[in-house]
Amino acid sequence: MNMYQRATLRETMQNKRSALAGRRGRRNLVISLIVTAAAVLLLFGVFLGLAVVRGNSMMPSVKHGDKILFARRGSPVIGDVVLLHSQQEDFIKRVVALPGDVVDISRNRLTVNGMPQMMYCAIGDTQPQTHDINFPLTLGADEYFVLGDNRENSRDSRTYGPVKAGQIRGRVILVLSNNIYQKAGTTPW
């Protein structure tokens, strides 16, 4: 084999290696894309969710049109903003009382288990909204009492009673507002 034939053979072998590496690269890229898509679907299908806020019942903390990221797992605690599902719609409210708590609303004051509750993010008076709910109210084993932060412009547990644990889709963990990321429940000032 002369020098020219060896150079041609070497070049042919390099071309075959390059073609094989290109196919491996494309295959690795496709596999990476499939794994990434599966991870995103699992993450947002099981652990997290996204929603858009409708209405101003949670102002000033969360406004109409804000986007929220919520965690589907875990039980809410007092102060958590939660995404609820009722009939045909989703909405957000703040948890003010947990299962077994005694809630009372009188003289523009919210008390839970006899202790006055002063929510830093609430605006307006906290008054009963219907005569169908009698206060004090003891919550059942799977019931939560939720209120909007904009107390005078909110339909919440004062209107429709306690919410069942099964109605809570998740706890809001991030609010995307005017391109500013803020922790759920904080005000932008």
Task: Write out pLDDT tens, residues 36-82.
Answer: 888 888 777 778 988 999 888 998 888 888 999 999 988 899 999 99
Any idea what DSSP says for residue 57?
Answer: T
Read off the pTM: 0.75
Q: Is 78 in contact with 97 (CB distance < 8 Å)?
A: yes
Q: What is the CA radius of gyration of the chain?
A: 28
- CATH fold for the domain made of 53-183: Umud Fragment, subunit A (2.10.109)
Question: pLDDT of 89-144, one tens digit each?
Answer: 889 999 999 999 999 998 888 999 999 988 778 888 888 877 788 899 999 999 99
- pLDDT, average across residues 6-34: 69
Q: Is 72 in contact with 170 (CB distance < 8 Å)?
A: yes
